[in-house]
């Protein structure tokens, strides 16, 4: 009888372990709490416009002559 209880307890432990693993898999790296905040957005490199000095994400930059500009209009204007 105690053998049966042992296997029953083992089965319950295995089910609990699998459940907690499945729950953790959906929310990124093994977070200890279920209320972990969502991952912060990737930090993007910032650059400044060579004409007006405005800071903006480098991915939106208009590049000309090795300089970054905020818009195609400022490419045509002289750099400061």
Q: Which residues bind Zn ion (CB under 5 A)?
A: 49, 51-52, 70, 74
- 52 is written with which tokens? 């007006």
CB-wise, 15 or 44, nearer to Zn ion?
44
With respect to Zn ion, which residue has the nearer C-beta, 24 or 62?
A: 62
CB of 48 to Zn ion, least distance (A): 8
- Which one, 33 or 59, has the nearer CB to Zn ion? 59
Residues 6+ apart with CB under 8 A from 31: 24
| DSSP letter (8 states) at residue 28 | S
SS3 state at 63: strand
């Amino acid at each position: 009888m105690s053998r049966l209880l042992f296997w029953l307890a083992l089965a319950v432990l295995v089910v609990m372990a699998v459940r907690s693993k499945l729950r953790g898999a959906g929310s990124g790296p093994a977070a200890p709490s279920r209320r972990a905040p969502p991952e912060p957005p990737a930090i993007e490199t910032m650059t400044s416009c060579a004409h007006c000095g405005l800071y903006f994400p480098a991915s939106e930059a208009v590049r000309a002559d090795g300089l970054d500009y905020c818009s195609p209009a400022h490419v045509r204007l002289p750099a400061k």
